[in-house]
Amino acid sequence: MFSLNGSTFLNNTLTGVSKSLAQRKVSAPSVVVASVSSNGNAADRNVSVLMENTLKEMRENAPSPSQSQVTEIQPASTVGGGVEDVYGEDTATEDQYITPWTVTVASGYPLLRDPHYNKGLAFTLKERDAHFLRGLLPPVVVSQELQVKKMMASMRQYQVPLQRYMAMMDLQERNERLFYKLLIENVEELLPVVYTPTVGEACQKYGSIFRQPQGLFISLKEKGRILEVLRNWPEKKIQVIVVTDGERILGLGDLGCQGMGIPVGKLSLYSALGGIRPSACLPVTIDVGTNNEQLLNDEFYIGLRRRRATGQEYAELLDEFMNAVKQNYGEKVLIQFEDFANHNAFDLLAKYGTTHLVFNDDIQGTASVVLAGLITALNLVGGTLSDHRFLFLGAGEAGTGIAELIALEISKQTNVPVEEAREKIFLVDSKGLIVKSRVELLQHFKRPWAHEHEPVRTLLDAVKAIKPTILIGSSGAGRTFTKEVVEAMSALNEKPVILSLSNPTSQSECTAEEAYTWSEGRAVFASGSPFSPVEYNGKFYASGQANNAYIFPGFGLGLIISGAIRVHDDMLLAASEALAEQVSQENLDKGLIYPPFSNIRKISAQIAVRVAAKAYELEKVTRSLLLLSLTCRFGDSSATARAGEPRKICRKLYVQPQLPQLPLSQRQDMLSHCHFKSFLSCILCSVSYDELCV
């Protein structure tokens, strides 16, 4: 078996000693092979002999020292390992390409404590021998499939949702692979556990249930040192960051540092639903204090015990963070703002939207998923978006974000100015209907929605005055869609569209049962939190959930695969249209305006494709499609192969029996343009070609 820094790797038959090339600029890396062991199966021996013969030829034909292209990089050099993205690209320049040689393989007890590589009882007997695990595990080998079955049986025994949440977090901290397999295969059942509504309660009690950090905590104490803090994170190839300051966690208010549960939950969905590597995801909490007196007096609170910073002090910390992220991870890293208060959320999006790849899920993600539901609902109620009148309860991030995206879609469909499209949309806040007479006292993000209309104080009066066909709640104020409001909507419309979007369940404007009962079963209903099916007059109604998880994993994946550097509103519209297209006629017949979550990975892939295509259309990308197509072709030995799929190329060149007959020069050239770590994986892993290149 192959020795890497004194450890072993699976059951491969090649042994050797590594020599560090991490600080070298490499054209054709040299390899030192100590010996080839005689044990192992025939296929492994063939690969080993082939590897040895190839390396022997390379040594015999190696250029003289004067011809060598290998040069030492000075310690003061600024060239680092770089940030590899999904295409294998690196932030190092083309002529300073780094091919790391030193590979660390965990073994023994530390391997069982490493959540990224631990497989628990799924380690085979050969793997236990190779990794010095004999005696550290019970003798039985349990497949991952059986472990999933066991975990689900255990999860279903818990009666309290928070207990299920803690069990899932415990699993993620010790066996990441099993965690994601469990979540992917049982997404409809476990999504409410790892995210809304249970994550809200988890954040409220985060200090009491805190075990170990799952992300970066950046506080005012780190001001001036944020770049250093980012470099403390062990993973260097970050593609997605979800960051919160904890001021407006769901509908629960200021939870300060305890809002970390939100970025952790969001990023677990980026991986489970969007397929983004967990190691490429970074949860961050910006701790600037809290105004929550209960937390400040809580002995278990884990954040700064001070009032929340505002103004210049707050702005300077956020600015340092944004600049440090760009400096450390590059321009293509996606930064998702999560659960910031209204006044900061809009300002941050406006300030950094032109300089960074930023996305606010509360404003843009919610808007996109709601627009998708409305596009689908038109199949049930008839007409186009421009034929309807919209009334919102709530004029914060979600309400104004949804309203603006609806206006943009109407403008796009009818070729009218967006200002004219806004005239069909009315918003109600805590002081009543937003009208022109209030404009001087309104926050800047509410002013576009101040229409010429007499003042209206209550939601019920607004329904009677505006006569909306679609009622949308995003206030987080609890049961505000009263029986009188729903009955008024039903009197105005044969099929009233009612969206109760506030999270968690306790803050929802109304329940599914209330909506269907008070509308006599005529409502087209969806909610932000999940509700059980409702029986009314002998008929069952299954309500849809307008969950942002439909959008943000696929949206983020689309940005990453296209190499996008900015987010554009048209990308959000493309995501909405892609999601709406996934609703089948069978779903519509049941009154559903969203597809089942059981297909969420396929849905996310469809959204990613549409978002990436729109990014290319808008020229908001850094990657050439032509170059990308060239990198995926076998046989290209130019530098373009480096950004492609080196594992596939290496596997074809060195393992498939007909290809090793290629001239040494061609094999040597192909090797020099591959990540050497990937090359090792291809030569040494005893997995099939298809498994290797997934």
Which residues are the active-site residues? 195, 266
Angle at 125 between CA 123 and CA 128, to 5 degrees: 65
Query: Dihedrals φ, ψ of 383, to 5°?
Result: 80, -175
User: Can you tell me which residue has the tokens 């005055």?
Assistant: 465
What is the CB neighbour count within 10 angstroms for residue 384?
Answer: 12
Of the candidates 588, 523, 502, 504, the residue with the CA atom closest to the CA atom of residue 512:
523
CB neighbour list of residue 61: distance below 8 Å, 6 or more residues apart? 664, 668
Q: In whole angstroms, what is the distance from residue 511 CA to residue 500 CA?
A: 8
Q: Is 510 helix (H, G, I), strand (E, B) or coil?
A: coil
Q: Are 220 and 285 in contact (CB under 8 A)?
A: no
- Over 10-73, what HEC string results? CCCCEECCCCCCCCEECCCCCCCCCEECCCCCHHHHHHHHHHHHHHHHHHHCCCCCCCCCCEEC
Question: 337 forms bridges with which residues in the sheet?
Answer: 243, 360
Query: Dihedrals φ, ψ of 51, to 5°?
Result: -60, -45
Q: Are 625 and 563 in contact (CB under 8 A)?
A: no
Q: Is 560 helix (H, G, I), strand (E, B) or coil?
A: helix
Token readout for 408 is 């943009």
Q: In whole angstroms, what is the distance from residue 176 CA to residue 122 CA?
A: 13
How many CA atoms does the CB half-sphere of 39 hold within 13 Å? 6
How many CA atoms does the CB half-sphere of 303 hold within 13 Å? 35
The identity of residue 517, as a single letter, is T
**172, containing H or E segment:** helix 161-174
The identity of residue 311, as a single letter, is G
C-alpha 441 chain-centroid distance: 38
Q: Strands 470-473 and 497-500: what pairing?
A: parallel
Angle between helices 187-194 and 261-274 (to 10 degrees): 160
Q: Are 371 and 406 in contact (CB under 8 A)?
A: yes
Query: Dihedrals φ, ψ of 112, to 5°?
Result: -70, -20
User: Can you tell me which residue has the tokens 């080998």?
Assistant: 141
Token readout for 418 is 């967006």
Q: In whole angstroms, what is the distance from residue 665 CA to residue 57 CA?
A: 10
Q: In whole angstroms, what is the distance from residue 65 CA to residue 258 CA?
A: 58
Q: In whole angstroms, what is the distance from residue 248 CA to residue 153 CA?
A: 35
Q: In whole angstroms, what is the distance from residue 361 CA to residue 240 CA?
A: 13
Of the candidates 429, 466, 436, the residue with the CA atom closest to the CA atom of residue 450:
436
What is the CB neighbour count within 10 angstroms for residue 44?
Answer: 18
